[in-house]
């Protein structure tokens, strides 16, 4: 089964728009990667400043290959003329999918 990576980002309110625009500008950057299955950027709606970046991969190796290549560049942070990150903290959660369900096709 697949593996899920959830990047937990602490984003101050004044940086939310910046974060969302940066993700929108990178749309398509991960979709062509071998083993990539799904992406979602989840915005908090109440009581927290935490965004969740959900990705699902065919295998851990596929995710690690992406991180070593295009993912490393995307997560490099501020360098030279690159803007500083919109998030003030980040944690990566990892899961294996052990059960899944899809809507019935009646």
Note the Cα 87 to chain centre separation in Å. 12
Mean pLDDT of the chain: 89
Mean pLDDT, to the nearest integer, of 88-99?
Answer: 94
Structure tokens at 81: 């003329």
What is this structure's pTM? 0.83
pLDDT digits (tens, 9 = 90+) for 45-87: 988 999 999 999 999 999 999 999 876 555 555 455 667 889 9
What pLDDT is attached to residue 78? 46
């Amino acid at each position: 089964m697949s593996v899920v990576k959830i990047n937990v980002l602490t984003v101050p309110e004044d940086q939310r728009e910046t974060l969302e625009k940066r993700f929108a500008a990178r749309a398509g950057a991960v979709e062509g990667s071998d083993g990539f299955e799904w992406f979602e950027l989840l915005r908090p709606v109440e009581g927290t400043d935490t965004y969740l970046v959900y990705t699902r991969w065919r295998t851990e190796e596929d995710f690690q290959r992406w991180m070593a290549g295009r993912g490393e560049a995307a997560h490099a942070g501020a360098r030279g003329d690159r803007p500083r990150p919109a998030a003030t903290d980040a944690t990566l959660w990892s899961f294996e999918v052990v059960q899944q369900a899809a809507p019935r096709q009646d």
